[in-house]
Structure 1
Amino acid sequence: MKYLWRLLPLGFILLLAGCGKQNLSALDPQGPVADIQFDLIKLSLYIMIFVIVVVFAIYLFVIIKYRERPGDTHIPKQVHGNKALEVVWTVIPIILLLFLAIPNVMQTFTLADVDVNEEEDDFVRVVVTAHQFWWEFEYPDYDVVAGQDMYIPTNTKIIIELEASDVIHSFWVPALAGKQDNVPGITNDMWLIAPQEGIYQGKCTELCGEGHWLMDFKVIAVDPDTFDTWASSMARTVDEEEEVNVVSAEGREVFEQNCISCHAISGEGGDLGPNLTNFGERSVIAGFLDWDENDENLENFIRYPTEKKPGNLMQPFPNLADDEMDALIDYLKSLKVLE
């Protein structure tokens, strides 16, 4: 019993490993990229299991065959080396490493090939820029910029160009593809395909500051027609948007007075913060806060953003009047492009 306390740190680590409300597992692959990487994981696992089984079998054989027996006092013959055994235990690991290395190298080239035949292949290009602590998704061919949620069409090759505006971040959507770094001044490329509609959880996997643990995003895969509708709606100008959406004029005024220098809506506004054109469609606030019945989470984030998401650069608005806050929230919730 006196040694049981030594197991407490291990138990604590296992509890932490189970924390979190989001599924960030690479063991349920979706699409060709994730399938390739999952196959490599399984190959590595099979090789490691083989090595463990062989080593333990030899270990058990030795301790049983050469165990000390009662009354046996003779000294075993001393052997200083066996050339055949040394060759075997050198060659076998080399062979196992080749079994592991060759498929990994071949698939690395496959995954690094982002070239497409524009005449034959249907593809969408997305420039993903990481900021402290939010994500920006630009679609150059559609003249669209989105924040936090990355919309993609299903069964379409998505060419992703990874960039960073400040420090090193890392883009990871485990169900669709492995992680790739966003490095300031460098553009890294990757590709993925989502075979079916759904929401795929993504996360930054590079420690990028005190708000790193809340730097989440979602990849939302929709059918190609819905994606085209979304893209054309996101590209509307403010005047066009006002023609199709009935919004709070007071809320719009509050937004223009306090928010528009940092946040854009339908092509109008700043780019220091996430684009809010489709804010009302997001399933979470600021990438991690749940919507609640009285909109208290949204109000508290607007008033005290650094208390909710440490290290972010959003200006706090603690003195915004209650009626102005209510109007602003109503306006933000009305911002939708897909009904």
Structure 2
Amino acid sequence: MKRKGLIRAAVLLSGVSAVTGCGNRNISVLKPAGPVGDSQMDLIRLSLVIMTLVVIVVSVLYIYAVVRFRERPGQKKEIPEQVEGSKKLELLWTIIPILLLVILGIPTVSTTFQLNKKPEPAESMRVNVTGYQYWWAFEYPDYGFETANEVHIPAGKKVEFIMTSHDVIHAFWVPSLGGKQDLSPGRINRLVLQADKPGIYEGRCTELCGAGHALMNFRVIVQQPEDFEAWVNRLKKPDSQPDNDTAAEGKKLFAQNCMGCHAIQGAGYKVLGQTGPELTGLSYRTRLAGVVNNTKEDLSRWITNPQRIKPGNHMPAFDHLTEKQRKALTEYLSGLK
């Protein structure tokens, strides 16, 4: 029985070890895509070299001690020579760790201060970040609009993220670009990032913020400067009017059911919701709620029962709508540009 138990434990441990190695290859600090990520990768390499050296030295000393001082046949049993109180040994195993910590600490502190430098306004842009349960608001104060769960930035330009939280503690992290910064209610933190090349970089909340924490995802979409400017111009002059009768019916349904929470610029509403994500230009987003693809089918599923897709979010289910009404509302929202 004991043997079977050990075998089961070994199999379980192997399975757990294998699963911990699974994940999205695009969410990794080992694939830096900007100067912040590169700097942090250099620190990872330095610490890895130091720790590897420590493991090798300790292993060699251990093996040497086991082989050199093992008990031999016919050897008289006697107490070996004691080294207690040896000043040389005590100084040696005190000074060496201190030197290793200094070697690791100096570049770490230097890099921290370097990355925390406030960029010049002429060579950077600003994005205000607010964490909610369980979505992200990204405001562009220089351009006068806001997005949700996806933030667009130009390649090769520093971006200063000014961060806070609306409710509980969240943490902003884009592994490939670097960083990781807490967002606390009533407190302003900042993080400067830069992406070297266009692409989609996945972001995560790394602070347990409630039931929907594991799905509080966002994306950083890096574009060429000219493509970013084109995106900005579209959001500054949104096309939020319905282009067919079905969408027009959907706009009426939005006013009756959704306008109290969500804002749509350019739709002609006198009152704009403030408690839910901004929906202006929804058709340009790659995902809905940060977790499903931006398709009409998934949008309809989200409207019907958002808790099934993202448990813990504060949006109520609209399962009271008829299929025709859901189709109209979906048609309108999916056409927002």
Distance in 1 (CA, whole Å) between partners of 2:303 and 2:83 is: 74
SS in 1 for 2:36: helix
State the match for 1:246 in structure 2: 243
Question: Which of 34, 40, 63 is equivalent to 2:37?
Answer: 34
Contact 1:22 1:201 in 2 (8 A): no
Q: Which residue is equivalent to 1:56? A: 59
2:259 is matched with which residue? 260
> What amino acid does structure 2 have at the position aligned with 1:261?
G
Alignment correspondent of 1:97? 101
Q: Is the 8 A contact 2:130 2:138 kept in 1?
A: yes
Q: Does 1:87 align with 2:91?
A: yes
Query: Match for 1:286: what amino acid?
Result: A
Which residue of structure 2 lines up, in the alignment, with residue 229 of structure 1? Answer: 230
**Is contact 1:199-1:221 (8 Å) kept?**
yes
CA deviation after TM superposition for structure 1 residue 241, in Å:
4.6
Q: Is contact 1:26-1:38 (8 Å) kept?
A: yes
For 1:177-188, what aligned pairs fall within 5 Å after superposition? 177-188=178-189
SS in 2 for 1:163: strand
1:129 equivalenced with 2:126 (yes/no):
no
* 8 Å contact from structure 2 (residues 179, 193) kept in 1: no
Task: Please tell me whether residue 156 in structure 1 is matched to residue 157 in structure 2.
Answer: yes
Q: 1:21 to 1:34 in 2, by over 3 A?
A: closer
Q: TM-score, normalised by structure 1?
A: 0.91
1:116 Cα offset (Å)? 2.6
In 1: Cα distance, 2:28 partner to 2:290 partner:
19
Distance 1:22 1:134, change over 3 A: farther
TM-fit CA distance, 1:252: 1.6
Aligned-partner Cα distance in 2 for 1:19–1:100: 29
> How far has the Cα of 1:73 moved from its partner?
1.7
For the pair 1:271 / 2:274, whether they are aligned, the reply is: yes
SS in 2 for 1:264: coil
> Offset at 1:258?
1.4
- Counterpart Cα distance in 2 of 1:15 and 1:286: 30
d(CA) in 1 for partners of 2:119, 2:65: 57
Structure 1 range deviating more: 91-100 or 74-83: 74-83
- Amino acid in structure 2 at the alignment position of 1:91: I
Moved >6 Å (runs of 4+): none
When the two structures are aligned, how many residues end up with a matched partner? Answer: 327
Instruction: Output the CA distance in 1 between the equivalents of 2:153 and 2:257.
Output: 31
Deviations 1:15-39 (Å, cap 9, x if unpaired)? Answer: 4424555632110001100001111
Q: Distance in 2 between matches of 1:52 and 1:15?
A: 23
1:236 CA displacement = 2.3
1:304 paired residue number: 305
Q: Which amino acid aligns with 1:251?
A: G
Task: State whether residues 26 and 176 of structure 2, in contact with CA within 8 Å, keep that contact through their aligned partners in structure 1.
Answer: no
Q: Pairwise mapping of residues 134-213 of structure 1 onto structure 2 (< 5 A)?
A: 134-213=135-214
Matches of 2:332 and 2:23 in 1, distance apart? Answer: 31
Map 1:5-44 → 2, pairs under 5 A? 5-21=8-24, 23-44=26-47
* CA shift digits 1:253-302 (9 cap, x unpaired): 2222211221111265212111111212222221112356xx44322221
8 Å CA contact 1:142–1:232 kept in 2: the answer is: no
CA contact (8 A) 2:285 2:294 kept: no
Structure 2, unpaired ranges of 5+: none
TM-score normalized by the length of structure 2: 0.92
Aligned with residue 74 of structure 2, among 71, 74, 79: 71
- Of the structure 1 ranges 228-237 and 30-39, higher mean CA displacement relative to structure 2 is found in 228-237
Indicate if the aligned counterparts of 2:240 and 2:280 stay in contact, CA closer than 8 A.
no
Give the aligned CA root-mean-square deviation in angstroms. 1.8
